[in-house]
Structure 1
């Protein structure tokens, strides 16, 4: 006759909280003997084997429903099928988090080097992007009837691969006055990553790569973006005799608190005639 053990003993043996053992019973992982008078639960070595199997399957990140099926119903072929499916799921997760890690490393590199580009103007091609706009200046009412607010959740779900991006309307630069400048805010993603993620591109604008002048500028509190952009980027370019030939595009690098003030840093690519 097999020895019987109270739930507290099994909890101590396996390091599983009593509440979790009750939950495992509810999930169907184990069916301990229940005393009808005291309502105490008693486990034997057979029950412990089921609990050990469930912990092993949990370590492979199987769901509770899958664990219950494997323990109580599945044949070897079906277990193999579930393992194959779980292998693909884990490989997809590894691929995703490797891509997240690569993006994080790229952001770290950008954070460590952007100060070198402040006030410096260099020739550089802008990245090839898809741009999804959602705000004109300070208004989200960008539809023709001015009542509908854009939906951006289908892009936000793809962070960190989509990044905050702005675009200056070229026609608003004709007067060369800061108060005339109009700008769009939105999100952008590389064309390669958009294809990998199968991101919805309806309403998104394709931005081709072209030769630009690249620089980094800073702004501080609200309503300092355009004056800072005008003073630090456009004025120096015009003063040097450059003619802006297409729509400038840029991205937020970081928001931070420096020298007791809120500071935002942006990178921008400005197409000019050569």
Structure 2
């Protein structure tokens, strides 16, 4: 067994890179020795043992700063504390990843609905998810939504997992000549109602749950918004829908083309 190893040899033995070892030297984590006779820098067997420990602690996802502490002056109790802290950190990160996976799954479903359900109006007999609708504003006062967003940002990082921007058209209002002024805009919520309710000033809260409804997806760009009530009316008329309750529209996604936004809404029309 050799007692001196050049940096290239260490790289091959430990499947690491020269840049990595140079960085360890730069931060004082593991420094090679200098041969006074030829000027070459080399690592001793003891250094390779230290490198083995460094690689092991890296596999525990400890930071280089933490590893430096462990390698220079640390008791078993202190190492145990570092390991416990890392365990807690990783658990939180795993929970975040699971939530992101759930959001990606929901986004995929929403996009598939935008692609396929906008081409049809379909009767759905299965009971859809129940919602609480919090009315925020009427008459398309979208500036009220900005105030609302400012309030909800401090509630929950993953608030969009359980809320949707929505509109609600009460039964009978769709064909009212003043329908535009009667449309309610707000949020539909599936959980954490009390937390949201206590942080957002709402004009009213309504429970929405239907077992039988017509479902489709409508897309509204800036031009379509000018006449979107007529668009919903035409869906009801053309499909001979006997409306049996409030019509709910839930925002699915906003798509941009040439920087111009188009909003996609899932439209739930309850039928008798």
Range class of TM-score, shorter chain: 0.5 to 0.7
Question: Quick one: distance in 2 between partners of 1:210 and 1:106?
Answer: 20
Change (3 A) 1:77 1:168: same
Change (3 A) 1:219 1:26: same
Corresponding residue for 1:242? 243
Secondary structure class of the residue paired with 2:23: helix
Number of residue pairs aligned between Structure 1 and Structure 2: 261
CA root-mean-square deviation: 4.8
Question: Quick one: distance in 2 between partners of 1:137 and 1:207?
Answer: 19
> Are 2:139 and 1:140 aligned?
no
Corresponding residue for 1:45? 45
Report the CA distance between 1:43 and its aligned residue: 1.8
Question: Which segment is superposed worse, 85-94 or 120-129?
Answer: 120-129
Could you state the TM-score of these two structures normalised by the residue count of structure 1?
0.66
Corresponding residue for 2:199? 202
Given that 2:70 and 2:79 are in contact with CA atoms closer than 8 Å, whether structure 1 keeps it comes out as yes
Corresponding residue for 1:17? 17
Corresponding residue for 1:252? 252
Question: Which segment is superposed worse, 177-186 or 90-99?
Answer: 177-186
Given that 1:167 and 1:184 are in contact with CA atoms closer than 8 Å, whether structure 2 keeps it comes out as yes
- Segments of 5+ residues of structure 1 without an aligned counterpart are none
Report the CA distance between 1:34 and its aligned residue: 4.7
Aligned ranges 1:99-248 → 2 under 5 Å: 99-109=99-109, 111-112=111-112, 115=116, 118-122=120-124, 124-128=127-131, 137=140, 139-140=142-143, 150-151=149-150, 153-154=153-154, 157-158=157-158, 161=161, 164-168=164-168, 175-176=176-177, 180=181, 184=185, 190-191=190-191, 202-203=199-200, 208-211=207-210, 213=213, 215-219=215-219, 221-225=221-225, 227-228=227-228, 230-232=230-232, 236=236, 240-242=241-243, 244-245=245-246, 248=248
Question: Quick one: distance in 1 between partners of 2:164 and 2:129?
Answer: 15
Change (3 A) 1:242 1:134: closer
Question: Which segment is superposed worse, 165-174 or 23-32?
Answer: 165-174
Change (3 A) 1:149 1:158: closer
Report the CA distance between 1:250 and its aligned residue: 1.0
Report the CA distance between 1:101 and its aligned residue: 2.6
Report the CA distance between 1:46 and its aligned residue: 1.6
Change (3 A) 1:33 1:47: same
Could you state the TM-score of these two structures normalised by the residue count of structure 2?
0.66
Corresponding residue for 1:81? 81
Change (3 A) 1:156 1:85: closer
Change (3 A) 1:92 1:150: closer
Report the CA distance between 1:236 and its aligned residue: 0.7
Change (3 A) 1:176 1:199: closer
